[in-house]
Structure 1
Amino acid sequence: MMSGVSTDRPSESGADEPAEQAPAEAVAQPVEETGRQPRRLRTVLIIAAVLFALDLLIKCIVVATIEPGKPIYLIGDFVRLSLVRNPGAAFSMATGMTWLLTLIATAVVIGVIRIGRTLRSLPWAVGLGMVLGGALGNLVDRLFRAPGPLQGHVVDYMAVGWWPVFNVADSAIVCGAILLVALTVFGFEPDGTRAGDQKQERDAADEDAEGKAA
């Protein structure tokens, strides 16, 4: 009498476990990360370096070619180049607080670089790059020009109408600050998103959760 031979095959290891769940989860995370905008620190530094170099070059030319009190008229009396040593802030404000302005400029430079490390918005990178380049341009003057460190006078040279004499660094700081304020007012975030878009995503997620619960 022949004994029955079992035709059952041993189950393979892990057959009862879902085979595709782990790979799907593993792929989901990289897709989410690659979908985000790239960090913009390099953009901030490039814009800052270009503005800083331009400001420094023009200041060197102005100091070497223009004498104080002898302006060069470009468009009548309205636009002219005039060498002025400014101990104050942009557009000759706060002239009696040179040392404090130097410390503030240093803090601005450090703060912008720290923010730029996680920045993902291109418009924010442009604005911060302008502020950083302008702050560096005037900070170098305060550190290395007469009458001494932390007390150095900034070289201003551009005069337009009745407006106080200014330079490229002043213009970069003011224009960059205006851009950053506008981005904040209209809801553009440093991470590349908009405040309204985030609210819509949260509302949609809440609706989906409510639908599943029902």
Structure 2
Amino acid sequence: MYLPTQFRAKDEAHALALMRAHPFANLISVDDDGFPCVTHMPLHLTQENQSHVLLGHCAKANPHWRYLKTRPQALVTFMGSHAYMSPKVYPDLTRVPTWSYLAVHAKVEANLVEEAQAKDRLLKQLIGDHEPIYAAQWRGLAKDYQHKMLNGIVAFELRITELQCKLKLNQHRPESHTAMHAAYTQGTPDEQALAAWMVKLGMVQP
């Protein structure tokens, strides 16, 4: 992605935090005709052998897993909080509106998970992110139903090979920070989250 120096995250932990806080991602690769294929899905971030790995799955009817099997390199994007920024935050009038946002792009290498028990373990990690109590209900379902459900999906591990994290919060315009933070603090949940990131990055005092 277009990533000016002033918006490039200097700490990998910021990217990891965004991926965990906003796990509903876009998995992007190319189909057999070379056209981009996008699947929207929740992903679980974990670590294996000192590498960051994203775990996910798609329906077996979704051809995307076949593209991953043939061409394992793919891109995963995460969008964090975002909001309009009014030029009113500047002390002068010769300004224009813009958009503040947090985003992560991860280049990945895909590996399909086809063994039933391995798929089950992978699903448990996703369940743990969103509804841990459901794991007991899943274990109580009939074995033939579990098998049918597992057979209807294709699971995969996406090993991250490169991370880009963009934190676009007008860092290069310090004259706007106080007013921008004040406006976002009183705004929508997304704007309030951006205000918290401004504090985290040391742009304003808490």
Q: Normalising by structure 1, what TM-score?
A: 0.22
Structure 1 or 2: larger strand share? 2
More helix by share: 1
